[in-house]
A and B are shown apart, each in its own frame.
Chain A
Amino acid sequence: MASDVKPRVKVPKTAAAGETITIKTLISHPMESGQRKDGSGNVIPRSIINRFTCDFNGQNVVDVTLEPAISTNPYIEFDAKVPEAGEFKFTWYDDDGSVYEDSKPIAIG
């Protein structure tokens, strides 16, 4: 069970209709690969964020599969076109079944 998991997102508050904006996301997570061993030689079980999705007003923007080689605190940056005012919804899926969510509204102006 990963502790101290905290999602963060940066989305502009406003955009022009049809504008392409840059979205930055980061989630604090150890991303334990499952390949390391502890002091007594036992394998430390894998515990990573395995999937990240972003939806805008119910429509999918990105759907990312994350692999064990991705470092601690995965940072994902991508561009999205904003056709109308609405809300970006971000979801991270943890190996342990936890789901972390965040959302950010965006206005046209």
Chain B
Amino acid sequence: MKLKSLTSAVALLALGAGMAVADENAPLVINGEIEIVTRTKAPEHMENMSEIRSGWTFRSEETQKLQMDDFDNPGMIFVDQAREAWETAMGTEGKACADCHNEPESMAGVRAKMPKWNEAAGEVWTMEMFINSCVTNRMGAEKWGWNSSEMVNMTALISSVSRGMPMDVAIDGPAAETWEKGKEIYYTRYGQLELSCANCHEDNYDNLIRADHLSQGQINAFPAYRLKNAKLNSIHNRFKGCIRDTRAETFKEGSPEFIALELYVASRGNGLSVEGPSVRN
């Protein structure tokens, strides 16, 4: 009998010689059927990198394995909760997601394009904004908090039905201005430590920052179940964590700055597969 927990992972690390470095070239196949692209050529617009890698390739073997089977992936518990919410009528209209959208599987492909330009609103929208538009306008309910469990679980469900599809975020046309703004934020040094996203995730990925193995900061695998807090984490929540670690005042979840940054960072992952909900440390 095995009781899987953080402690056992920590014990393994302590026993092994130094860091348990996994095979970064191992293929990721979920449930023995969904093939995930974890390494590919960087998109044209990236000037400083030739190859992009999923955060999965940076994790230890034990953590990697958790994502290879939906039963082992703790994030799928929250997907199941969202499946129930999908069927549940709410708000003054008494409608459920299922009343308009049928099965959650009808959302296949949506996650791969997010965030995207919303013509009616005249701005770039993330998945959270599309969901909240449904929740408030079509269902007549109170809007969900950006980082609330209802919201993060629903984004996980919508992401889960697109797994294996390549990220394909549009950065031209009306989205170009927001994308440029996001790029500027990515390369701006923030906080007392004066760190930009690029300092860690472009210049130093695959190196250690103290005990952390730095990834490329890709967001194709979000929402991510983190072993450190045992729940799903949204993209903006992760952005906030990073900026806080530079000892800066962070932007807020759902702020125009984070929406622009999300568009830019998502476009850096164009070509990697949608992976969420993923498992990370």
Residues of chain A having any CB pair with chain B under 8 Å:
4, 6, 8, 10, 24, 26, 28, 62, 64, 70-78
Contacts and interface: CB of A to CB of B under 8 A. Distances in A.
A70 B81 contact: no
27 contacts: A6-B77, A8-B71, A10-B71, A24-B71, A24-B72, A26-B71, A26-B74, A26-B77, A28-B77, A28-B80, A64-B1, A70-B3, A70-B5, A71-B230, A72-B230, A73-B74, A73-B77, A73-B230, A75-B3, A75-B72, A75-B74, A76-B1, A76-B2, A77-B1, A77-B2, A78-B1, A78-B2
B71 A76 contact: no
B238 to A, nearest CB: 20
A4 B83 CA distance: 13
A73 B77 CA distance: 9
Contact of B3 (A4, A28, A74): A74
Contacts of A75: 3-4, 72, 74
Interface in B1-30: 1-6
B77 A76 contact: no
Interface size class of B (residues with CB under 8 A): 10 to 19
The 4 closest A-B pairs by CB, nearest first: A78-B1, A10-B71, A77-B2, A28-B77
Which one of A26, A62, A78 has the greatest number of beta carbons of chain B within 10 Å? Answer: A26
A28 B75 CA distance: 11
B125 to A, nearest CB: 29
Nearest to B81: A4
Contacts of A4: 81
A4 B71 CA distance: 17
Contacts of A26: 71, 74, 77
Nearest to B6: A71
Contacts of B72: 24, 75
A65 to B, nearest CB: 12
A77 B71 CA distance: 11
Contacts of B74: 26, 73, 75
Contacts of A70: 3, 5
Nearest to B1: A78
Given A8-B71, A71-B230, 15 more contacts: A4-B81, A6-B80, A10-B71, A24-B71, A24-B72, A26-B71, A28-B77, A28-B80, A62-B1, A71-B5, A71-B6, A72-B230, A74-B3, A75-B4, A77-B2
